[in-house]
Amino acid sequence: MLNFYIDRGGTFTDVFYQLDGESKVHKLLSQSYYKDGVFQGIKEIYEKYSRDGSNVQVNQIVIGTTIITNAILEKQGHDCALLITEGFRDLLQIGQQTRPKIFDLTMKKPSVLYKEVIEIKERITYEGEIVQSLDLEQVRTDLLRLKQQKISSIAVVLLHSVINDVHEQQIKGLAKEVGFCSISISSEVSKVIKVVPRGQTTVLNSYVNPLIQQYIQELEQEIRALLTNQNPQILFMQSDGGLTEAQEFIGSKAVLSGPAGGVVALMQSTKIFKQLNKKGVVGLDMGGTSTDVCVYYDRQNIKEESVVDGIIVNTPCFDIKTVAAGGGSLLKFENGMFKVGPTSSGSYPGPICYDRDGLLSLTDANLYLGNIDVDHLPKIFGFDNNSGLNYEKVKEQFEAMSLELGMSPIEIAESFIKVADEQMCRPIRQITNGRGQLSQDHLLVIYGGAGGQHCCSIAESLMIDSIFIHKYASIFSAYGLSLARQQKYQKIPLIDKLINFDSINKVINTLQSQQQQDIEQLIELHLKYEGSDFLLKIEYNSDVNVIKQSFEMQHHEFFGFKQNREILIEYVSVTTKYGQQKEENDELLEIVKVTNGINMNINQLQKQIQYKGPFLIHTGNTTIKINSGWQAELTRNENIVIRKIIDQQNINQSKYANSSLELSIFANKFMSIAEEMGLQLQNTAVSINIKERLDFSCAIFDKDGNLVANAPHLPVHLGSMSDAVKCQINNFNEGDIIMSNHPEMGGSHLPDITIITPYFKDHQKLFYVASRGHHADIGGISPGSMPAFSKYLKDEGIAVRSFKIVENGVFQEDKLIELLQESREKQDNVQDLKAQIAANNKGIQLIEQLITQEGYEKVDQNMKRIQENGENCVRQMLYEISIKNNLKEIDTIESDEYMDDGSKINLKLTINRQDRSVIFDFTGTSQQVLGNTNCPVSVTKSAIIYCLRCLVDMDIPLNQGCLNPTQIIIPKNSLLSPNHLCAIVGGNVLTSQRITDLILKCFQATAASQGCMNNFSFGGFNQRSYYETIGGGSGAGDGFNGESGVQVHMTNTRITDVEIIERKHPVRILSFTLRPNSHGKGKYSGGDGIIRSFLFLTKLNVSLLTERRVFPPFGLKGGQNGQKGINLYKTQGQSFLLSGKVNLDVLPDDEIWIYTPGGGGYGLI
C-alpha cells in the first residue's frame, strides 16, 4: 500500500510517502524538464516500486500547493467579471483606502483581479429589506455581453447579501442559463458582514477557480493513465489545516495550502514542549524569499482573514506572519548600515552561489561562513541545472566588499546574518509579546530549508532557551499532510445578544450532528462586546454562564481587561473533522554522556548523548548550526532538541563585531518595540477610530525627548509627538503618566490625545514612550469634535495642556471623567486612554528588557547613533537632489500655496550643497485666521520630516536626526504658528496636506496630491458620532503615475466598511467609487479622486471640513492640474453646491455627495 503526501512549492516539490507503513522522502524541482512536480513525484516513486512487476496499490494522494498564491502573484488567473451593486463599481479597487508604504511617493496599490465590471441596479438594507428590486432582463443582457467578450468567470458581490441573498441567487441562476460554468457569489463564498473583504475573496475565487479545476482535471487524468484500474483518494490541503476532496477545493480556501501543512506538523509533532515546561510553540519556516512564523498553544490558532498581494481573503486560515527575509534576500550596505531584503534574488537567477549571474544574497553569506556543506546538497545549479554551489564567486564578492568597507569578509558576512536574524525575530515578537505572552516562554521549532543555519542566533535574540528540529524539518509541510484530517467549515450569521440564549440555542440545535464514530464537531460562537468589532471565538456550551465566563477570561487574556458592556453574538461556526487524529508522541531521553560536537551527519548522532556546540549537523537537505553555548540531543523519535547551556549575558558580550552591525540591530529592535506598542493599543482600544481605522501612532524617545523610532503609523502624528514629549519633561515625578492634546504643547488637533510615559532609573528619567490616538469625540460645538466653523480653540473641545492621568502610580479616573464632561463619548474616551497607557507600559517593559540585555549605556548610545544616521541620510539626499535639480551651491526656490479662503502659505526653500543643509522659511505666510485652518508649529514640523523621509527613499527609521540639517523659520501669529486662542482642527487635517504639497513642489519631486483629508462627520440626539476621512488622487512624479482613491501624505487611516456603517448608523451609502477623469494629465498622470455619497435616514447634524474646493491640485513640469473637489447637498428634489466647510442639520432622505480632488500630472504630454 502506497500513500503520497506532496507539498508543491515554488522551487521544490517535497514528497513524503509511506510504503506498507514505512516512511520515505523524495525531493525534486517543482518545474524543470517536466510539467508538474506533483505528478512527476508520484510517477518516479510508483515506477520505482512497480518496475519488477509488483502490484503496488496507491491508496491516497494528499497535496498541498502554492499554485493559487503563485497565480495571484504572477497574475495568471482567468478573465473574470465583477457584478456589484450600482454605485460601487470601484469599491474593491479602493478597498480600505490605505497605501502599502507610507513614505513611498511612487505608491502603487495591487491591481484588481477582475477584467470587467457590471453595476447591478438593486439594493437591500442591512436588515434584509429590498428597497430596489433586481431588473432580471437587464442582468441577462449584461451577462450575454460578457459572454461575447469571452469572459469565462463571474463574481457577484451585492451589499448585505449575507443577510438576504435573493438577488445574488437570482443572478447565479441567470448566469447558469446563459452558460457560465464558474460562478462565485459572495453570500456563498464568505459570511462576513463586510463587503470589501467578502467581495475581494469572491473575486479571487472567480479568478483562480477555473485554473484549479483545470489543474485537478489534468492531474486526475495523468494519475488514471499511470495507475491503471486504481482509484486512489485525492485530497487537498486547505488554509485552515483541514483536507478536502478535489471538487471542494476552491481558491479562497487554498491560499495558504502550501504552508498549512507545516503548521499541522508543528501542532501534532511538538507535544514535547510540555515536557520542556513551555507555554507554547513558535514555528519558523525559512524559505527562499521569505520567512513564515506562527504560534501554537495546544489548540489551533485559526483566524478568519489573510492578505495575499494586497487582496483580503476572508476564509479560515492559520495565523501565519511573513517577513521578507529568506535565503534569496539581497544584501546591501547603505548609509553605514547593513540591509537584508526586502527584495530577493528569487529562485532564478538566485544568489551568486547558484552560478547563474545572480546577486549577493543571504544564502551566499551562509555559504561563505561554512554554514552550508556543498558536498551534501544535490547538484541542481548553474545554467545547466547540473552543477554544485559556486563558493569561489561568493568569496570574490565578499572580498571586494571588504576592500570597500574596510572590514574583513567574515565580519561582513556575519553582520548580514545577524541583521537577518533580528528581522526574523520581529514578527515572532509580534505574535508573542504583542499578544501578552513572553517569547522566552516558548519552544522554537525550526523547519524549512534554511532555518537550521540561524536557529541558535534567533533563539538568543528572543531569549528562548530550547529549540526543536524535526527529522523531517526540510519537508515539514509534506510531512504535515500525513497528519491532517478531512475537515469542513460552516459559518452562519446569527446577530443577537448573548442574553437571548434560548433563540441562539434553537439555531445551534439545527447545526449539531448526531455523534458518530470518527467524527468530531466543534461549534463556536463569535462574540464581541457592544461597540467593538473584534470577535473572539468561544466554544459552545449549553450553559450560557460558562460561555460568558470563557469569553471574559479569553478577552482578559488577550487584551488585559474586561468590560461592563453587553456581549453580542455575530456568527456561529461549525468545524467538522473526519477520521481519527494522528499525533506523533515523542519524549526527551535521560542523558548519560556529554561530549563536544564535531561536524557530522544526522545519522551519526546517538541517543542519550548531548553534543556541545559549536558544530554543524548535516541532514541531507539542510544544515543545522549549533552555536557555542548550546547543546544538541536526540529525542526518542530521533528528532533534535537544542538547549542553551550558558548565561545569556555572556553570549551578548561580544556579539557585535562592528558599530555598523550594532546600529543595524538596534534599528530593528527600536522599530520592533514601537510596533508592539501599536499592536497592544489596537488590541485593547474599543473605538472604531483606533481599533478599525488605525488612527493612532506610537513612538519612543530619548532622555531629551527626541524621536528615536516609530512604527509606520500616521505621518501627521510622528513629527509632532517629539514636541509633545519635550513640553512635559519637567512635569514628571516617578509614577506619573501625562495626558495632553493642546496645540501649544505639541498637539496636532484636540481629538488627538497624547499619553506620555517616562522611564525612571535611580530617580533619573532615561527615556520616554508616547502614544497618540484620535478620539471619536472630545466635546466642542459639533459631534465628532471636527466642527466646520470653529473660530476659537474652545469651540473644538477640551484642550488639555498637562494632566497627570496616572499620578504616583494611581489612575486618576474620577478626575479624568470630570475633565471629560464635555465629551459625548466619555466611556470610549476612558477605555481608549487606558489602552494608550497599556501600550506605553508595553513599550517601557520592552525597553527595560533591552537595557537588561544590553546595558543602558549601549541603548542610550544607539539612540543617539540612530539619529546621527537619519541626519546623515538627509544630508546626503539634500546634496544629491541639489545636483539633480541643477541648483547652485546655495540656492533658493520660492513658491506659494493658497488655501480656499485665500490665505497664503509661502515657502522659501534654501538648499546649501556645501554643508548639506536646508532652510524652510515660511516668512511670507498669511497671518492667523478667524477660522480653523490655523496649523500648529508641531504639525508643520511633521510635514517637513515626512517629506524629508520620503525624499531619502531608503528604509531608515524616522527620527529626530532627520530634522537636524534643517532650519525652520515660521512667523509668530501666522497661519502656521497661531496663538493659543485660535481654532486649529483644520490645520491638522487640511493645512498639513497643503504644506506637504508645497514642500514637495519646491523639491520638484511630485505634483500636488488631493491636498485634503476630506473630513466628514455626523451625529445627533441619541446617535453615536461618526467620523471618517476620504481618500483622493495622489500626484504624479518623474517616472510614475499617481494612484487613485487613496489616502495621501499625512494620513493613512482605513475607511469603515459600507455594511458596518449602515448597520451602526442611520445612513445609507449611495455610492463609493472612483471619480472618472478627475486626474491631471501629463507625461505621467495623477490619480483620480473618489465619489462618496450618503442618504440620511433620520435627522442628524453633519460637518464637512474639506479643501481644494477653490484652487485645484497643481501639475508640475508642464503637467495639468487635477480636478477640484465638490460638495453637494440634495434635499426635496433640489441640489445645492456647498462650500468646503459646512455644518448643517439634515433631514430623512437628504443626501450629501462628496467628490474628492484628483492628483496633478507631471511633465508635458
Count of CB atoms situated within 10 Å of the CB of 978: 25
- The mean pLDDT value for 1140-1163 works out to 97
User: In 1022-1124, where do the E strands start and end?
Assistant: 1023-1029, 1067-1074, 1090-1096, 1100-1105
pLDDT of 1051 > 80? The answer is yes
Q: Based on the domain organization, do 1053 and 1156 belong to the same domain?
A: yes
DSSP 927: B
Position 785 scores a pLDDT of: 86
Sheet holding 1151-1155, edge to edge: 1067-1074, 1090-1096, 1151-1155, 1126-1131, 1134-1138
Domain membership flag for residue 635? yes
Of all residues in the chain, the percent with pLDDT exceeding 90 is 62
Q: Which among 238, 294, 231, 289 is positioned nearest to 266, based on CA atoms?
A: 294
Could you give the C-alpha distances from 177 to 79, 147, 170, 174, 922, in angstroms and in order? 20, 12, 11, 5, 67
Position 646 scores a pLDDT of: 66
Which amino acid does the sequence have at 411? E
Domain membership flag for residue 587? no
Count of CB atoms situated within 10 Å of the CB of 391: 17
What residue numbers bound the domain in which 628 lies? Answer: 329-469+594-652
Position 1122 scores a pLDDT of: 98
Position 654 scores a pLDDT of: 47
Tell me the three cell numbers of residue 884: 539633480
Rg of the chain in Å (alpha carbons): 30
Residues 734-747 have pLDDT tens digits of 999 999 999 999 99
Position 1162 scores a pLDDT of: 98
Q: Which among 36, 9, 6 is positioned nearest to 18, based on CA atoms?
A: 6
Domain membership flag for residue 686? yes
Q: Based on the domain organization, do 1025 and 1138 belong to the same domain?
A: yes
Q: Which of 136-145, 379-388, 801-810 has the lowest mean pLDDT?
A: 379-388
pLDDT of 14 > 60? The answer is yes
Instruction: Kindly write down the DSSP assignment for every residue of 290-351, as one continuous string.
Output: -EEEEEESSS--EES-EEETTEEE-S-EE--EEES-STTEEEEEETTEEEEEEEE-TTTT-B
Query: Of the candidates 178, 196, 214, which is a domain's last residue?
Result: 196
Provide the mean pLDDT of the chain. 90
Query: Of the candidates 151, 167, 196, which is a domain's last residue?
Result: 196
pLDDT of 42 > 70? The answer is yes
How confident is residue 299, by pLDDT bands cut at 50, 70 and 90? confident
Position 772 scores a pLDDT of: 94
Q: Based on the domain organization, do 543 and 411 belong to the same domain?
A: no
pLDDT of 852 > 90? The answer is no
Per-residue HEC secondary structure of 701-759 comes to: ECCCCCEEEECCCCHHHHHHHHHHHHHHHHHCCCCCEEEECCHHHCCCCCCEEEEEEEE
Residues 152-199 have pLDDT tens digits of 899 999 999 999 999 999 999 999 999 998 999 999 999 999 999 999
Q: Based on the domain organization, do 565 and 684 belong to the same domain?
A: no
Q: Based on the domain organization, do 403 and 490 belong to the same domain?
A: no
**3-state SS, residue 494:** strand
> Helix-strand-coil percent breakdown of the chain, rounded to 5?
35, 30, 40
How confident is residue 382, by pLDDT bands cut at 50, 70 and 90? confident
- Per the CB < 8 A criterion, the answer to whether 298 and 327 are in contact is no
pTM exceeds 0.75: yes
Give backbone dihedrals phi and psi of 770, rounded to 5 degrees, phi first.
-145, 150
The CATH number covering residue 514 comes to 3.30.1490
Domain membership flag for residue 780? yes
Q: Based on the domain organization, do 1148 and 1051 belong to the same domain?
A: yes
Domain membership flag for residue 844? yes
Q: Based on the domain organization, do 792 and 816 belong to the same domain?
A: yes
- The mean pLDDT value for 329-353 works out to 85
Q: Based on the domain organization, do 183 and 105 belong to the same domain?
A: yes
How confident is residue 30, by pLDDT bands cut at 50, 70 and 90? low
Q: Based on the domain organization, do 672 and 757 belong to the same domain?
A: yes
Q: Based on the domain organization, do 839 and 706 belong to the same domain?
A: yes
Q: Which among 414, 902, 892 is positioned nearest to 627, based on CA atoms?
A: 414
* Phi-psi sector, 852: left (phi>0), alpha (psi -120 to 50), beta: alpha
Domain membership flag for residue 201? no
Instruction: Kindly write down the DSSP assignment for every residue of 101-112, as one continuous string.
Output: -TT-TT--PPPP
Q: Which residues contact 583 (CB under 8 A, 6 or more apart)?
A: 268, 269, 271, 483
Position 825 scores a pLDDT of: 86
Q: For helices 659-684 and 856-884, what crossing angle results, to 10°?
A: 100
Domain membership flag for residue 586? no
Distance, CA of 289 to CA of 324 (rounded, Å) = 6
- Per the CB < 8 A criterion, the answer to whether 470 and 250 are in contact is no
pLDDT of 818 > 80? The answer is yes
Going 496 to 500 to 501 to 503, the CA torsion angle's sign is negative
Position 651 scores a pLDDT of: 43
Domain membership flag for residue 46? no
Q: Cell numbers 495507475 label which residue?
A: 227
pLDDT of 960 > 70? The answer is yes
DSSP 86: T
Query: Of the candidates 168, 196, 224, which is a domain's last residue?
Result: 196
How confident is residue 513, by pLDDT bands cut at 50, 70 and 90? low
Give backbone dihedrals phi and psi of 1089, rounded to 5 degrees, phi first.
-80, -165
Tell me the three cell numbers of residue 14: 517535497
Position 559 scores a pLDDT of: 64
Residues 892-901 have pLDDT tens digits of 999 999 999 9
Q: Based on the domain organization, do 562 and 673 belong to the same domain?
A: no
- The mean pLDDT value for 244-258 works out to 90
- The mean pLDDT value for 77-90 works out to 96
Q: Which of 31-40, 832-841, 951-960 has the lowest mean pLDDT?
A: 31-40
Position 628 scores a pLDDT of: 92
pLDDT of 652 > 50? The answer is no
Judged on CB neighbours under 10 Å (0-12, 13-18, 19+), 502 is exposed
Q: Based on the domain organization, do 680 and 723 belong to the same domain?
A: yes
The number of domains in the chain is 5
If residue 598 lies in a helix (H) or strand (E), which one and from where to where?
none
Tell me the three cell numbers of residue 625: 548550526
